[in-house]
């Protein structure tokens, strides 16, 4: 059990240290943890995102807490959260000492010039993994398309992009809406 706790802390420590660009940036790391350890499945990850978006608090913290809980109960939740925030605390306490020099430093600016597109790319890849399960029953080449899911996704895209009134609504509304659609139309 101690080994599992130590491993859990280390995995989330790395996530906290290398995930750049907010909550969703932890996603590729969670997929990687899921693939290597089997602590939680890809489906559970998708559910975690939904719960994390629908509850208060930072999304990255919520996802770490949730995955820690699934892996090792309440102690797991505390340990994974501690792992995620420890690098942030250390880095910020160090950076705070030489505040202005830091975000004008050309090496820091250069590193983030490369890190931002990489982070976007890894989140795109995580989205593709989920899209394969949701829209193609886990196989892009199989030719089976989940028509219900495609229609719902199309509706959500219209709501979140084109209609002025609905565009501003909080994601929790769309999560609740999709849950209702899922129940009524038996997804």
Please tell me what DSSP assigns to residue 169. Answer: S
Q: How far is the CB of 164 from other proteins (least distance, A)?
A: 16
Q: Is 138 in the site for other proteins (CB under 8 A)?
A: no
Q: How far apart are CA 47 and CA 60, in angstroms?
A: 14
Binding mask 59-78 for other proteins (x = CB under 8 A): xxxx--xx--xx---x--xx
Nearer to other proteins, 2 or 186 (CB): 186
What is the secondary structure of 62-88 as a DSSP string? HHHHHHHHHHHHHHHHHHHHHHHHHHH
| Region at 38 (left for phi over 0; alpha for psi -120 to 50; beta for the rest) | left
Pick one of 41, 101, 163, 170: the residue that binds other proteins (CB under 8 A).
Answer: 170
Q: Is 186 in the site for other proteins (CB under 8 A)?
A: yes
Q: Is 145 in the site for other proteins (CB under 8 A)?
A: no
Pick one of 6, 37, 51, 144: the residue that binds other proteins (CB under 8 A).
Answer: 51
Helix (H, G, I), strand (E, B), or coil: what is residue 1? coil
CB 44 within 8 A of CB 133: no
Q: How far is the CB of 6 from other proteins (least distance, A)?
A: 18
Q: Which of residues 86-105 bind other proteins (CB under 8 A)?
A: 87-89, 91-93, 95-96, 99-100, 102-103
Q: Is 113 in the site for other proteins (CB under 8 A)?
A: yes
Q: How far apart are CA 33 and CA 18, in angstroms?
A: 14
Nearer to other proteins, 8 or 28 (CB): 28
């Amino acid at each position: 059990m101690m080994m599992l706790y130590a491993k859990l802390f280390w995995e989330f420590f790395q996530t906290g240290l290398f995930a750049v660009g907010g909550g969703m940036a932890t996603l590729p790391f969670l997929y990687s943890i899921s693939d290597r350890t089997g602590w939680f499945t890809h489906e559970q990850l998708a559910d975690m995102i939904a719960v994390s978006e629908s509850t208060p608090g930072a999304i990255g913290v919520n996802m770490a807490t949730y995955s820690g809980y699934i892996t090792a109960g309440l102690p797991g939740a505390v340990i994974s959260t501690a792992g995620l925030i420890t690098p942030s605390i250390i880095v910020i306490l160090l950076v705070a000492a030489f505040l202005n020099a830091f975000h004008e430093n050309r090496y820091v600016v250069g590193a983030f010039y490369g890190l931002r597109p990489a982070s976007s790319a890894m989140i795109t890849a995580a989205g593709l993994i989920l899209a394969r399960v949701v829209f193609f029953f886990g196989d892009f080449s199989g030719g089976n398309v989940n028509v219900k899911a495609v229609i719902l996704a199309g509706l959500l895209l219209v709501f979140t992009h084109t209609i002025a009134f609905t565009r501003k609504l909080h994601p929790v509304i769309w999560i609740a809406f999709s849950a209702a659609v899922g129940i009524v139309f038996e997804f």
